[in-house]
Structure 1
Amino acid sequence: MSLVRLEAVTKQVTLPDDSLLDILRGVDLSVSAGDHVAIVGRSGSGKSTLLNILGLLDLPTSGTAEFRGAAVAGIRRGRLDRMRGKDVGFVFQQFHLLSGRTALENVEMPLGYARGRQFWRRRELATAMLDRVGLAHRLDAPPERLSGGEQQRVAIARALVRRPALILADEPTGALDVETGAAVMTLLDEIATESDAALVTITHDLHVAARARRHLRLADGVLSPVDLDRAFADTALGAVSA
């Protein structure tokens, strides 16, 4: 059974002039445990909207979105919030760390909504995850005293501290230099593999996308397979032409 499945999903928004804007048009996607899927597309192609639907933050206008075989539209809001907190980990380009809080306190935050042993062991679990991402020596540092790469690793630790079944990474290397970005993607791959989590990466960077096992392109709201070798060739040709 798929972990998350979208079938004929559309998303429309109403513009100020009451006209409708189609953001997603009949998207089909199935992601299972252990999958690593990369979705590429230009800015404004609907990638973030798709990510929000996959991550249980938004509902489609039409079509079916399922999580662990259950139709998301039929799940009550409170239960949906708990599912998202437990089963979905978000890694964003801009980190979204809380200033004035230490790295440890930032990573502890999702565990404040956990139950049982996870809640009572939240400091121990957060410390272990920061150690896993190579920041055991920076537990007490606030975000403003961390480099960009360190902030991203704190954000990854926060996203993964509850060991989610689905990891959604939205342009996770967009604010990083090439070397740091490669290290961050290696770390994401390793942790996802360890826990057999599904990893969906939204990116415009073909090199980041190439790390995935499945490659898709979102263009004009339509999701389709993409040949990365062809895409790399087209990019190289464009560079030569320019």
Structure 2
Amino acid sequence: MSLLRLDEVTRSVQLPDDETLEILKGVTLDVEVGDHVSIVGRSGSGKSTLLNLLGLLDAPTSGSIWFDDRLTSTLSGNARDRARGADIGFIFQQFNLLGGRTALENVMTPLLFASGRQFWRRRQLAAEMLEKVGLGGRLGSMPEKLSGGEQQRVAIARALIRRPRLILADEPTGALDIETGASIMAILDEVAEVSGAALITITHDVNVAALARRHYRLDRGVLAQIDVSQILSSSTQGGGL
């Protein structure tokens, strides 16, 4: 069952000299419920632009995006916001933690917009999620008192707290050591499998990319499916992504 589908999606911007910069060119992608997809690409390949489209933050210049069998261009801004808040979990490379709030309060934040048991149990659920990512002893710590790796784990816990149907992970292990990164990817896979969520990982790390079931490379705005052996061989041969 398809959860997210992009059909011949393009994204371009108008430059000050009236030239058109094509960032994405005819991107087609079908992500099923429970799928795990990785996308690799160099800086400037259009990964951030694609992430914003996948997360319903931006609209394409042309082409169609379907989420849960709904054509997103027909949704109102409020409807897109509701779908994003309820069904999509973002793990940003920059963490985007809230200053002046503890790790626990940061993870609790998405549940302030929940209802029923999720809302009333938000403190317990946040503490359990932080325990799961290895930060059970840092609940009261402010972001500035946490290392880069610890901040990243708080951001991951926050993204997973509502059990989203789609998890978008932008360099999820970028600030972590190899052992911690492997454990975080295992957590992401576990949460995705238990909840039936789809996981899309956008990364430079070929070892992280290889953990997915399907693999894509984004190059100069063109998305193409590749074999996992291509990812690993490009790394061992020093050819990059």
TM over 0.5: yes
Task: Show structure 2 runs of 5+ residues with no match.
Answer: none
2:5 aligns with 5
1:28 aligns with 28
In structure 1, distance between residues paired with 2:140 and 2:238:
47
> Does structure 2 retain, via aligned residues, the 8 Å contact 1:94–1:175?
no
2:238 aligns with 238
- Is residue 2:146 matched to residue 1:146? yes
* TM-score between both structures, scaled by the size of structure 2: 0.94
Residues 220 and 21 of structure 1, relative CA distance in 2, 3 Å threshold: same
Measure how far apart 1:76 and its partner are: 0.7
In structure 1, distance between residues paired with 2:138 and 2:231:
40
2:172 aligns with 172
What do the CA deviations read for 1:82-125 (whole angstroms, capped 9, x no partner)?
Answer: 11011000011221112221011000111112223322222222
Range with greater deviation from structure 2 (116-125 or 28-37): 116-125
Deviating runs (4+, > 3 A) in structure 1? none
Equivalent residues in 2 for 1:136-215 (5 A)? 136-215=136-215
Identity over aligned residues, as a percent?
64
Counterpart AA for 2:180: T
> Does structure 2 retain, via aligned residues, the 8 Å contact 1:171–1:204?
yes
What do the CA deviations read for 1:18-70 (whole angstroms, capped 9, x no partner)?
Answer: 11111111111011111000001111111111111111101111100010000
In structure 1, distance between residues paired with 2:231 and 2:200:
19
> Does structure 2 retain, via aligned residues, the 8 Å contact 1:111–1:122?
yes
Equivalent residues in 2 for 1:12-91 (5 A)? 12-91=12-91
* TM-score between both structures, scaled by the size of structure 1: 0.94
Q: Secondary structure at the match of 1:215?
A: strand
In structure 2, distance between residues paired with 1:150 and 1:134:
9
1:229 aligns with 229
1:112 aligns with 112
In structure 2, distance between residues paired with 1:134 and 1:234:
33
Q: What RMSD over aligned residues (CA atoms) do the two structures have, in Å?
A: 1.4
Q: Secondary structure at the match of 2:167?
A: strand
What do the CA deviations read for 1:153-212 (whole angstroms, capped 9, x no partner)?
Answer: 111110011110000000112223333322222221222122111000001111110000
Q: Secondary structure at the match of 2:237?
A: helix
Counterpart AA for 2:68: R
